[in-house]
Every structure is written in C-alpha cells, then in structure tokens.
Amino acid sequence: MPEGDAIPRPALIIGLLAVLPFPVLLILVWSPPDVISPDRLVGAFLAYASGVTALLGGAHWALVAGPYGKARIGAEGAIGFAALVAAWLALIVPQYLGLSLLIAALFLLALRNALMAEAQGTAPWFARLNGYLTAAAIVTAILVLIRLIT
C-alpha cells in the first residue's frame, strides 16, 4: 500500500477510541443484568450511537462551507440535517425502532461517504477508516437489536 494510503496513526488511535464504547456496551448488554439493567444499557448504546450519527452528519455540514455549487451545498446540508434528525428520533421512539433507525442512517451515511470519497477529494485512508469504524458501529447495533428483541 502506498504511504499516502496508510491510515495515519493519530487518526487510527482516535478512531479506535471513538468506536470502543460500541463493543463495550454490546458486551454489557449481553451480560447478565446483575448490576445495570439491560434497558439502561441499551439506552446508553442508543445515546452514544445517536451522538456518533449526528457527528457523521456534521461532517457533511462542514462541506456546506466548501467552494461548491448550490446543488452540492443543498445536498450536503440536507444529509447533515437528516442525520441529526435520525439521531434525535432514535432517542424518542421505542428502543427497537431507534436502533433500526440508527442502523439505517449509519449504513446510508457510510454508503454515501464511500461513493463520494473520490469525488470529495478526501484521502483514500479516510474513506477506509470511516468505513471500518461505521461497520463496527452497525454490526454492534445489529447485535444489540437482536438482544433487545429476543
């Protein structure tokens, strides 16, 4: 892999630290409910996943300030707003719906970011890192959803 394609160590460390609460909460959700109720743990998972979803949407808001045409500015603003609304709604609907909404929102954001990575002119490593971390969030959210409905 060319050096420009390698994920810079600081970005990798920050990304891993940001994704760490997902598997930790997943393990706790699947653990016996001795200390913390599963409902509260799912709530904590939802809160963190909602924050991450809003953050990923916020990255699109940053693109609104770029030197783009009105159509691109409108699209990026709409994506950022949609991610924010999805994150908020996930906190006020029943937990299984909130998890389902976040899974869909994270998947769509990851898909859009992957498809637009080259057009946006971002470094190849950034799209890869974003994809890995978002995939981890989606997989853990699916597993929390399975625990919730079983």
pTM, 2 dp: 0.91
Determine the Cα–Cα distance for residues 38 and 41; give it in Å rounded to an integer.
5
Q: List pLDDT tens digits, range 43-86.
A: 999 999 999 999 999 988 887 887 888 888 898 899 999 999 99
Closest alpha carbon to 41 in 99, 104, 111: 99
User: What percent of the chain clears pLDDT 70, i.e. is strictly above it?
Assistant: 95
Domain spans of the chain? 16-27+38-149
Q: What is the pLDDT of residue 23?
A: 98
Tally the C-alpha atoms within 13 A of residue 108's C-alpha that lie toward its C-beta.
Answer: 14
- DSSP state at residue 66: S
Q: Give the pLDDT band of residue 1 (cuts 50, 70, 90).
A: very low
Determine the Cα–Cα distance for residues 95 and 63; give it in Å rounded to an integer.
31
Q: What is the pLDDT of residue 24?
A: 97
As given in the structure block, the two tokens for residue 50 are 């909602």
